[in-house]
Amino acid sequence: MARRGDPPEEGPEGLPGGDDEYRSVVFDESFVQAARVQEYSAVERMGDHARAVRSLPAVRRGGSGQVLLVVVLVAVAFAGAVYLGLRQPQQPAAVRPAEAMRMTLTSLAPRGQVPGGTPRQVLDNGPAADYRPGAEGLAMPAVRRTAHFTEAQVTAALATVKDYLVASSLDPDVLTGGEVRAVRALLHPDQLAQFDRAVADPAADGRHAMTGWIVRFDPEQVALADREVRVRGALQVSEGSSGALEVTSDHTFAYALEPAEGAAAPGAQASLFTVRRELHFRLDRDDLRQRRVEVLAGDTQAGPQDCAADATAVLRPLLAGERAGREGPAGTDPYAPGPPAAALCGTLSAEALPDPAAP
C-alpha cells in the first residue's frame, strides 16, 4: 500500500502523460540516423539569424545490399569462365613452318638470229609496246575481304607480294649482280637457308636455282640498255584451307639488253629479252604483321636463251645477232642419285621477238 505523499505507481488511466500514449512514436536509433533534418544544439542556436534545424546529406538505403549483389554476380561470372575454360581450353595457334620453294626454269631458244636495234626500237616495236613501265605494270586487283581476312589484310598481302616482285624483277642492282638483301628481307625466316644456299651454290635441282628466286644477269656479259623494264600481268588472291591468304602472280617482264662494256663489239645493238614469272605465295597473319612472304613455287620462262646454257645462277640471254646452238639442254641422268635436274627447254615464238625495222 502506498504511503501518503508517494507518487502513484501508475498514472490514472486515460490521463495524458502515460507511457502507452507515446509508445507508438518511440524513435529507435535507425530512425534517428536516417533523419534528413537535425535540430541545432542550444549553443549553435545562440548565433545571429541561426536556423532552428539543418539538413543532413541523404543516406542511400540498401547500399550494402547492392554491393553484395555486384560481388555475387562477379563471382558467378568468374566461376563460369573458369568452368568453360576447363571444359574447352583455348588451344594456342599452331606454328606452321614455311615450305621449301619449288621452282622450274624453261629456256626459250629462238629459231633464227636475234634481232637488234636501239633500246626504244626493241621495246616499242615488239610485243611489249603496250606494256607499262616498271612497278606501274604490277597493277593491283580489286580488293575484297575474305571469310577470315579483312580488306586491309588482303591489301597488305598484295602490297607485300608487289614489293617482292619489284625487288626481285625490277631492281637494277639485283638484275645486274648486286646485293640481294632487299629480296632476302621479304622472305619468311624458314626459307632463308634455302635462299642463301641458292645464292652461294646454285643448282638445277628444283630447289636451289638462283634464277628461281630473282631475275639476274651476268654483269660481265650483259648490261641494261634501258633501265625501264616493261611489265604486264595480274595478281590474284584467295583464302586457302590453311588459314592463310594465297596470292598468285603471273607477269611478263621485257628487258632491253646490250653487251656489257667489256664484252661489247663495235656497233653492238640492243635486243629484247623476255621473262615470264608465275609465282605462288602464302601469307598468314604473322607474315602480314612482319611484311614478309612465303614463296611456295615459281615457274620461269626466259628467252631468247640457249637451252644448253646453265641458267641456274644467272640468266644467259642471246643478244642481238646471236643464234642458239643446236645442242639441247644439258643431259639428265635418271640413274644419278640426288634431286633430279630441272632443266627444261622450249622454242621462242617468232611473235615474241621485236621488229626494229617496223615504223
Give the span between the Cα atoms of 57 and 36, in whole angstroms: 7
Q: Does 17 reside within a domain?
A: no
Place of cell 615450305: 99
State residue 211 phi and psi, 5-degree precision: -75, -5
State residue 275 phi and psi, 5-degree precision: -130, 120
Q: Does 240 reside within a domain?
A: yes
Give the span between the Cα atoms of 316 and 276, in whole angstroms: 15
Residue 200 buriedness (CB in 10 A; 0-12 / 13-18 / 19+): exposed
Q: Measured between alpha carbons, how far apart are the two ends of the chain, in Å?
A: 150
Query: Any bridge partners for residue 250, and if so which?
Result: 234, 278
Q: Does 183 reside within a domain?
A: yes
Domain of 191?
102-329+340-352
Q: Does 346 reside within a domain?
A: yes
Q: Does 317 reside within a domain?
A: yes
Give the span between the Cα atoms of 317 and 311, in whole angstroms: 9
Closest listed residue to residue 312, CA positions, set 220, 216, 223, 196: 216
Query: What pLDDT score was predicted for residue 88?
Result: 41
In angstroms, the Cα distances linking 200 to 196, 197, 210, 321, 329 are 6, 5, 9, 32, 23
Q: Does 264 reside within a domain?
A: yes
Q: Can you give the pLDDT of all 359 residues of the chain as single tens digits?
A: 445 445 555 444 544 445 555 455 555 555 555 555 555 555 555 555 555 555 555 555 555 666 666 666 767 666 665 555 544 433 334 456 788 999 999 999 999 999 999 999 999 999 999 999 999 999 999 999 999 999 999 999 999 999 999 999 999 999 999 999 999 999 999 999 999 999 999 999 999 999 999 999 999 999 999 999 999 999 999 998 778 999 999 999 999 999 998 777 777 899 999 999 999 999 999 999 999 999 999 999 999 999 989 999 999 999 999 999 877 666 666 777 766 665 688 999 999 999 887 76
Domain count for the chain: 1
Q: Does 215 reside within a domain?
A: yes
Query: What pLDDT score was predicted for residue 119?
Result: 96
Q: Does 77 reside within a domain?
A: no
DSSP-derived secondary structure for 151-191? HHHHHHHHHHHHHHHHHHHT-HHHHTT---HHHHTTB-GGG
